[in-house]
Amino acid sequence: MKKTDTDVLIVGGGVGGSAAALAVTTLGKRAILTEETDWLGGQLTTQAVPPDEHRWIEHFGCTRSYRQFRNLVRQFYKDHYPLTSVARSNPQLNPGKGNVSRLCHEPKIAVAVLDQMMAYAIASGKLQIKRYLKPISVETYGDYISAVTFQHTQTNLTQTFTSDYVLDATELGDLLPMSETEYVSGAESHKETGEPHALEGHADPEDIQAITWCMAISHDQNGSHTINQPSQYSQWRDYVPQLHPTWSGKMLSWTYPQPTTLEPIHRVLLPEESDDPWTSLWTYRRLICRDHYPTEIMPHEVTLVNWPQNDYLEGNIIDKTPDLVDMYRHQARQLSLSLLYWMQVEAPRPDGGVGYPGLYLRPDITGTDDGLAKMPYIRESRRIRAEFTVTENHVGTDARNGACAEKFDDSVGIGCYRIDLHPSTSGRNYIDISSLPFQIPLGAMIPIRLENLIPANKNIGTTHITNGCYQLHPVEWNIGESAGMLAAFCLAHQLKPRQVRNQHKYLRSFQNLLQSHGVELEWPQTSSV
């Protein structure tokens, strides 16, 4: 038997990769987890986005380990922050009281919790975490990956790992082109998928959701913290997105299209500027809320700017040259900084004045020098050509004509979120439609050819449309956890992933394993979202 560096190599330390590492080591196998930055957690941490979740999340609809993560985040605040007695006693504490999530929290807290959850696996020798490693090449033999080579982002030194199974948990499905794995990017055509919201005419690989370079900010009502004018401010100040259907005007504005109707809606910045808290952008992804603290130590609140105004639409970073990717990433950062500067000096206020000079960046929140996230928020990835592809016709409310979502006999998890597609780099405006509580089919995690590559992030067999509901935090965690357990199960029983899916006795045995570790495979009777 060939000697390997590890049983399972997990490339990418985001939500899916972290969950996969926990799963592999829980089942007694060895894992190496690589991460491009110094933080594990991906969407939750390096991208700074607190979890987008469904309305039943406090009671059901996620894996046991994801629920443990949520509980530990809350407990961290209760153990280490000077909360009021009311906040401390709240079993469903929402640290930021954000509107978008029942658990709006600082990214660094998720880092601490993930480190805590992995501590024993590391101490036992089952898990090695290799930070600052970016994959640069893949060696294959036939339909197998034999090795992955990485470059250290700080030293430029290279390192190669071998393993029996490789999990692609990167944010963009980076291993797929490197390994010549068959994949799809962008939007499919209606002719190909039959989806009501798929493109008429030809598929468009450039039709990919915007990235967003998030930032954490606070507001000092009596201070002045205006940054230097960003170098591209004049460009972004007057920028009007060229979308179909049309945008509502300039991007740097309090007015933008309502995602479901595309009718213009007007927002305010601060909650005290409106009687309706839902109109405040500040409370949308607020991370620290002063209501949870005694008056005498009331902190400056912190909010996470992940708004329509800083969605970057001018370039897609998938399958582009490094120089072009660098340019697009720089422009995305410039857009976010330009939004901040516009808010500080030009944004109209309800009282008739302009500007909020007391706004300031919070690098302590994001773990960076400037208060912007370590990495851009990625909504859409390359996707494997899979044994089975989930389409809108399987999970879309209207497409199902009132029925429940398609039931998959090979379910390895569940999830729920609206099909929420942000404007794309090919000029399409929002697509935001109702979907049904859905299952994650194992067939969507099996490449049509590769035998030891398993997707563990947003790179499973969905379409551009269904990616919109399969890419959120609890689903990505479930995908990663099931991918890790699949690799461990295959190693234990000397099976291939497609054998597990396609032979009934192995599939049932694997599903029983998932359930015994707290992975839910089907929903109770629920409604659409």
Instruction: Give per-residue pLDDT as tens, 277-324.
Output: 889 999 999 999 999 999 989 889 999 999 999 999 999 999 999 999
In a domain, 525, yes or no: no
Share of the chain above pLDDT 90, in %: 96
Please say if the pLDDT value at position 4 is more than 90. Answer: no
- Give the bridge partners for 354, in sequence order: 348
**C-alpha to C-alpha distance for 377 and 210, rounded to whole angstroms:** 9
Statement to judge: residues 512 and 411 lie in one domain: yes
Q: What is the mean pLDDT of residues 87-91?
A: 97
Please say if the pLDDT value at position 2 is more than 60. Answer: no
In a 3-state reduction of DSSP, which class is residue 200? coil
Q: How many domains does the chain have?
A: 2
Statement to judge: residues 23 and 103 lie in one domain: yes
Quickly count: other Cβ atoms within 10 Å of residue 242's Cβ.
10
Statement to judge: residues 417 and 334 lie in one domain: no
In a domain, 178, yes or no: yes
- State pTM to two decimals: 0.97
The last residue of one of the domains, among 315, 341, 366, is: 366
Please say if the pLDDT value at position 493 is more than 90. Answer: yes
Statement to judge: residues 50 and 156 lie in one domain: yes
What pLDDT does residue 526 have? 64
What pLDDT does residue 3 have? 55
Q: Checking DSSP bridges between strand 31-35 and strand 127-131, what pairing results, if any?
A: parallel
In a domain, 199, yes or no: no
In a domain, 22, yes or no: yes
Burial of 494 (0-12, 13-18, 19+ CB in 10 A): exposed
Residue 451 has, within 13 A of its CA and on its CB side, a CA count of 14
What pLDDT does residue 528 have? 63
In a domain, 390, yes or no: yes
In a domain, 1, yes or no: no
In a 3-state reduction of DSSP, which class is residue 278? helix
The last residue of one of the domains, among 341, 366, 391, is: 366
**C-alpha to C-alpha distance for 128 and 519, rounded to whole angstroms:** 24
* Per-residue confidence band for 1, with pLDDT thresholds at 50, 70 and 90: very low
Residue-wise pLDDT tens digits, 326-385? 999 999 999 999 999 999 999 999 999 999 999 999 999 999 999 999 999 999 999 999
Statement to judge: residues 61 and 184 lie in one domain: yes
Statement to judge: residues 217 and 291 lie in one domain: yes
**Residues near 350 by beta carbon (within 8 Å), at least 6 away in sequence:** 268, 273, 274
Q: What is the mean pLDDT of residues 161-172?
A: 98
Statement to judge: residues 355 and 229 lie in one domain: yes
Statement to judge: residues 17 and 147 lie in one domain: yes
Q: Are 451 and 483 in contact (CB under 8 A)?
A: no
Statement to judge: residues 33 and 182 lie in one domain: yes
Encode 146-169: b = buried (16+ Cβ within 10 Å), e = exposed: bbbebbeeeeeeeeebbbbbbbbb
Which whole-number Å values give the CA distances from 253 to 152, 233, 249, 353, 359, in the listed order? 40, 14, 8, 15, 16
Supply the CATH number for residue 34's domain.
3.50.50.60
- Give the bridge partners for 127, in sequence order: 31
The last residue of one of the domains, among 308, 342, 366, is: 366
In a domain, 160, yes or no: yes
Residue-wise pLDDT tens digits, 239-291? 999 999 999 999 999 999 999 999 999 999 999 999 888 899 999 999 999 99
Q: What is the mean pLDDT of residues 495-519?
A: 98
Statement to judge: residues 35 and 139 lie in one domain: yes
What are residue 324's phi and psi, to 5 degrees? -70, -40
Statement to judge: residues 140 and 113 lie in one domain: yes
Please say if the pLDDT value at position 527 is more than 90. Answer: no
**C-alpha to C-alpha distance for 427 and 430, rounded to whole angstroms:** 10
**Residues near 338 by beta carbon (within 8 Å), at least 6 away in sequence:** 230, 232, 233, 235, 236, 237, 252
Statement to judge: residues 387 and 286 lie in one domain: no
Q: What is the mean pLDDT of residues 36-44?
A: 98
H or E segment and range at residue 149: strand 144-152
Range of the domain at 359: 211-366
* Per-residue confidence band for 525, with pLDDT thresholds at 50, 70 and 90: confident
In a domain, 204, yes or no: no
- Look over the chain and give the mean of its residue pLDDT values, rounded to a whole number: 96
